[in-house]
Amino acid sequence: MPRILIACEFSGVVRDAFKERGWDAWSCDLLPTEKPGQHIHGDVLGILADGWDMMIAHPPCTYLCSSGLHWNKRRPERAKQTENALDFVRRLLDAPIARIALENPIGCIATRIRTADQIVQPWQFGHGETKATCLWLKNLPVLKPTNVVEGRENRIWRMAPSKDRWKQRSLTYPGIAQAMADQWTF
């Protein structure tokens, strides 16, 4: 049975999509999982060499995405946090795992590490929403849209401030998770 690590995922959405396809699927995050399932509550860097066949990584975007980078000039301490976040991304991409996908919004990964292999939108996978998501791929094909739908809501962008806004904005849409599981199963 192939083993997959879903790095930096607390929701279980991607983990469960692969589990349904017969994978030994594990999520790992500093937060506890929101859905029961195989979850490692801790630092993913300590388990990267544990014999995974694939990893899909969702590193936190707070200090990486374009929408937040303007704060680096206003708050100089953030520039160091961006450098730390980029180092984390490099470690994920350099993990000793044969197949890797790393996702993040448009931001400095593309200019500081390498250009994304693909940008997907939820509306290409059954959700009438816009949320450009970049994918950096290692030994995986680009995702093919599965269900292009009408509607280009911008709900994520217009989400009102709240204490858990970051969690809501970071969730992977189920249609994208399902496409990953269907198209990247070997």
pLDDT at 68 over 70: no
Domain count, the chain: 1
pLDDT reported for residue 108: 82
Average pLDDT of the residues of the chain = 89
pLDDT reported for residue 67: 66
Handedness of CA 40, 181, 45, 116 (dihedral sign): negative
Residues 162-185, mean pLDDT to the nearest whole number: 83
In this prediction the pTM is 0.90
Contact criterion met (CB below 8 Å) for 97 and 5: yes
Residues 60-66, mean pLDDT to the nearest whole number: 71
pLDDT reported for residue 169: 62
Strands (E), the chain: 3-7, 24-29, 39-41, 54-57, 99-104, 118-120, 133-138
Phi-psi group of 157: left, alpha or beta (phi > 0 → left; psi -120 to 50 → alpha; rest → beta): alpha
Containing structural domain, residue 146? 3-183
pLDDT reported for residue 134: 97
Residues 18-44, mean pLDDT to the nearest whole number: 97
| Tens digit of each residue's pLDDT (9 = 90 or more) over 127-157 | 998 889 999 999 999 999 999 998 777 666 6
Q: State how far the Cα of 63 lies from the Cα of 112, in Å rounded to an integer.
A: 13
Contact criterion met (CB below 8 Å) for 57 and 7: yes
pLDDT at 123 over 90: yes
pLDDT reported for residue 156: 63
Residues 27-44, mean pLDDT to the nearest whole number: 96
CATH number for the domain spanning 78: value is: 3.40.50.150
